Amino acid sequence: MTHIEPIYKSEAGREAIAALYDRLLAQWSAPLEQVLVSTRHGETFVAHWGNPDGPPLVLLHGSGSNSATWMGDAAAYAEQCQAYAVDIPGEP
pLDDT in tens, 34-60: 999 998 888 889 999 999 999 999 999
Q: What is the pLDDT of residue 42?
A: 82
- pTM confidence score: 0.79
The pLDDT tens digits of the residues spanning 59-82 come to 999 888 888 889 888 989 999 999
Distance from C-alpha of 6 to C-alpha of 9, rounded to nearest angstrom: 8
Q: What is the pLDDT of residue 20?
A: 86
